[in-house]
Amino acid sequence: MDRRELLKLGALAGAAAVTGVGANALLRPSPAAALAGLPGGSPLGNRRVKNVIFLAYDGTGYEDFATADFFARRVVGQPLRYHQFLSEGLTGTMIPSSLTSWVTDSSAASSAWSTGRKIVNGAVNQFPDGTELTPILELARATGRATGLVTTARATHATPAAWVAKVRAREMEEEIAIQYLASGTDVILGGGQAYFDPAIRSDGRDLFGEFAGAGYDVVKTPGELASSSGSKLLGVFAPSTRHVAYEIDRRFGGVDQPSLADMVRAALPRLDGAEGGFVLQVEAGRMDHANHEQDAGAMVWDWIAADEALGVLLEFVADRDDTLLIHAPDHDTGGGVTFGWGSRYSRTDPALMTFGNVRCSYERLLLDLMPRNPSPAQVRELVEANVGVPVGDFAAENLAALVSGTDMAGLRWGHQNAVLGSMKYQVAQLLSQSFENRPERPPVSFATSNHTAGFVPVVLAGAGIEAGNLGVIDNTELFGVMTAALGIEFENPAMTADEAQELVDEG
Ligand SMILES: [Zn+2]
C-alpha cells in the first residue's frame, strides 16, 4: 500500500468516525443497563414499594457539592445533610447524556428518567417524528397512585413537565399547563403564573379558574399555601414568567414566596393520604439558573434550600420501608469550580468566607434593584451593598453601560441558555472574581454558561435500602428502578440516535 492509499484510507476512517454509524453509537451508554443483572432488574430485587419520591437537583454536580459543602460548614455553620445522605445511601455515578448529544438539556434528561428513553434535547417525551412516550406519572396514576410535582422553577418548566406532558418543544409551556390540568396531577407547586393567567396566555384561557373548577385549591402566596386544606393543590408563587425566587433573595430580599422545603411539606401529607400510594417529583431547579448566570452566591444558597428539602424528605422516609427516595442532578451546568489560590492555596479559604457577604442574586440586582439608567456610582453602591464585593471604576462604568443599553424587564432571566447571550457573560465577568482574583470575592471560576457533560452522583435511600455501590448507571435506568419498585410493567417505544439525527437533519 503506497502513501496515497494510506492517506485515503485514513481519510475514510476519519469520515466514518464523524458521520457514520460509529458517531452516535459512541453516545450510547456502555454497558447499556448496569442494573439489568440484578434480581428484578432493580436494587430492591422483587420488592415493591407504595411510594416513590424523586428529588432532582437541576444543573449541579460534584464541584458545586464541594463549594456548597464549604459554604454550609464554614459560612452557614451547619453541614449539608446531603453529605451524610451520600454516605449512607446506595450511591453511584450517573451518565446524563441525551439521545444525540453527550451534553443533555433538562427536558431530555427528565424525559430519560420519566420514560426510560433518551430523546433529542429540547423535546418533552417526544421523538422527532412525533412518536410520544408515556411518562412515569401517567403510569403511576394508572395503578391508582396520587401524583405530584414540586419545583422552584416555573411549574411548567422542563424538568417537572417531562413527568407528565408530551410536547414537541419545552418552550410550549401554555400547552404544558393544559396537559397538567388534563392529567389530574394532584399537587403542582412552582413558579410562572403567566402560563395559567388569562391576561397573559395567548389563548386567553383562565387556567387558574379551570383548575379551581376541577377541585383544586389554587394558591399564590405562602399565606394561602399555609391555610389551604384541599387534597388537590395548584400553587404558583412567582409573577409572570419568573421562577420561584432564588433562596438568597427569599432570605435577604424579603421576597414573599415559599421555600422548596415549605412546598415539600405542603405536598407530602396530601399525597400520603392516597390509598394506593403516590409518586412525587421534587426539583431544586435554580442551581441550574445560578450556574447559567455564573452566580456562585445564588448557587450556594439554593444548595442550602435544596438541602432543607432533602431533610424533610429524609425525615419522611426514615423508618418506613414503603417509600423509595431517589436523588440525582439531571446534569451539571457551568463547570464552576472552587480553585486553589495564593501561596500553597492559603488564600482559598479566606476568600471562600466572603460568600457570607453576598445578600442578593445577580438576577434580583439587575431586574429589581438597579434603576433603569444607572450611573456608575449607583452601580457601585448597589453592588457593594448587595453582592458584597468592591467594584472598580472599570466594572462600574461597564456595568452601567450594559444595563442602560439593555431592556432588563424584557429579559427572561434564568431561562434557556441563549436568551441572555453575551449579557450574562459580561455581568458575571464584571461582578465575579473570574474577572480579577480579589481577596474579597469567592474563588469560584466557571468554564461555561452552558450545561456540561459532567457525570453526577445518584443516591437511592428509604425502602429499607442499605449503603452500597450502584456503580456507573445511565440516566434511563432510573425509570426501570421506579417501575420495578412500583410493580409497573411497561416499555416505551425506542429510537436510535442515528434515526433521530436523520429526522432532525430533515427538519
Ligand atoms: Zn437541567
Q: Is residue 57 part of a domain?
A: yes
Residue 280 C-alpha to ligand 1 middle, in angstroms?
18
- The end-to-end CA distance of the chain, in Å, is 42
Please spell the DSSP secondary structure of 232-289, one letter per residue: SEEEE-SSTTPPSPPHHHHHHS------HHHHHHHHHHHHHT-TT-EEEEEEE-HHHH
Angle at 362 between CA 357 and CA 363, to 5 degrees: 135
Which whole-number Å values give the CA distances from 195 to 5, 138, 180, in the listed order? 61, 22, 11
Using DSSP, state whether 20 is helix, strand or coil.
Answer: coil
Q: Are residues 304 and 402 in the same domain?
A: no
Q: Are residues 462 and 330 in the same domain?
A: yes
Residue 288 C-alpha to ligand 1 middle, in angstroms?
6
Residue 463 C-alpha to ligand 1 middle, in angstroms?
27
Residue 323 C-alpha to ligand 1 middle, in angstroms?
25
Angle at 72 between CA 69 and CA 74, to 5 degrees: 100
Q: Is residue 235 part of a domain?
A: yes
Residue 330 C-alpha to ligand 1 middle, in angstroms?
5
> Residue 6 has what pLDDT?
45
Q: Are residues 210 and 88 in the same domain?
A: yes
> Which residues lie closer than 8 Å to 51 by C-beta, 6 or more apart?
145, 271, 272, 277, 278, 279, 280, 322, 323, 324
**DSSP β-bridge partners for residue 338:** 444
Q: Are residues 369 and 229 in the same domain?
A: no
Q: Are residues 376 and 494 in the same domain?
A: no
Residue 425 C-alpha to ligand 1 middle, in angstroms?
19
CATH of the domain at 329: 3.40.720.10
Three cell numbers written together for 4: 496515497
Helix count and strand count (H, E) for the chain: 22, 14
Q: Is residue 8 part of a domain?
A: no
Residue 106 C-alpha to ligand 1 middle, in angstroms?
3
Q: Are residues 156 and 201 in the same domain?
A: yes
CA distance linking residue 148 with residue 280, whole number of Å:
5
Residue 286 C-alpha to ligand 1 middle, in angstroms?
9
Residue 127 C-alpha to ligand 1 middle, in angstroms?
19
Name the residue with cell 439521545.
99
CA distance linking residue 410 with residue 406, whole number of Å:
9
Q: Are residues 183 and 301 in the same domain?
A: yes
Of 390, 411, 441, the domain-final residue: 441
Q: Is residue 214 part of a domain?
A: yes
Q: Are residues 463 and 436 in the same domain?
A: no
User: What angle do helix axes 376-386 and 393-404 make, rounded to 10 degrees?
Assistant: 110
Q: Is residue 2 part of a domain?
A: no
Q: How many domains does the chain have?
A: 2
Residue 110 C-alpha to ligand 1 middle, in angstroms?
8
Asked if 454 and 475 count as a contact pair (C-beta separation under 8 A), the reply is no
Residue 385 C-alpha to ligand 1 middle, in angstroms?
31
Task: Reduce the secondary structure of 100-128 to three states and give it as a string.
Answer: CCCCCCHHHHHHHHHHCCCCCCCCECECC
Q: Is residue 12 part of a domain?
A: no
Of 441, 476, 495, the domain-final residue: 441
Q: Are residues 323 and 243 in the same domain?
A: yes
Q: Are residues 388 and 472 in the same domain?
A: no
Using DSSP, state whether 470 is helix, strand or coil.
Answer: strand
Measured over the CA atoms of residue 104, residue 106, residue 107 and residue 109, the dihedral's sign is positive
Q: Are residues 437 and 459 in the same domain?
A: no
Of 389, 411, 441, the domain-final residue: 441
CA distance linking residue 315 with residue 317, whole number of Å:
6
Q: Are residues 319 and 364 in the same domain?
A: no
Q: Is residue 9 part of a domain?
A: no
Using CB atoms within 10 Å of the CB of residue 44, give its burial: 0 to 12 exposed, 13 to 18 middle, 19+ buried.
Answer: buried
Q: Is residue 409 part of a domain?
A: yes
Residue 393 C-alpha to ligand 1 middle, in angstroms?
36
> Residue 17 has what pLDDT?
41
**DSSP β-bridge partners for residue 474:** 95
Asked if 307 and 53 count as a contact pair (C-beta separation under 8 A), the reply is no
pLDDT truncated to tens, each residue of the chain (507 aa)? 454 554 444 444 444 444 444 445 444 444 445 676 677 778 888 889 999 999 999 999 999 999 999 999 999 999 999 999 999 999 999 999 999 999 999 999 999 999 999 999 999 999 999 999 999 999 999 999 999 999 999 999 999 999 999 999 999 999 999 999 999 999 999 999 999 999 999 999 999 999 999 999 999 999 999 999 999 999 999 999 999 999 999 999 999 999 999 999 999 999 998 899 999 999 999 999 999 888 999 999 999 999 999 999 999 999 889 999 999 999 999 999 999 988 999 999 999 999 999 999 988 988 888 888 899 999 999 999 998 888 888 888 888 988 887 776 666 655 444 345 566 667 777 776 544 556 778 889 888 889 999 999 999 999 988 899 999 999 999 999 999 999 999 999 999 999 999 999 997
Instruction: List the shell of residues around ion ligand 1, using CB closer than 5 Å.
Output: 58-59, 106, 288, 330
Question: What is the residue range of 421's domain?
Answer: 359-441
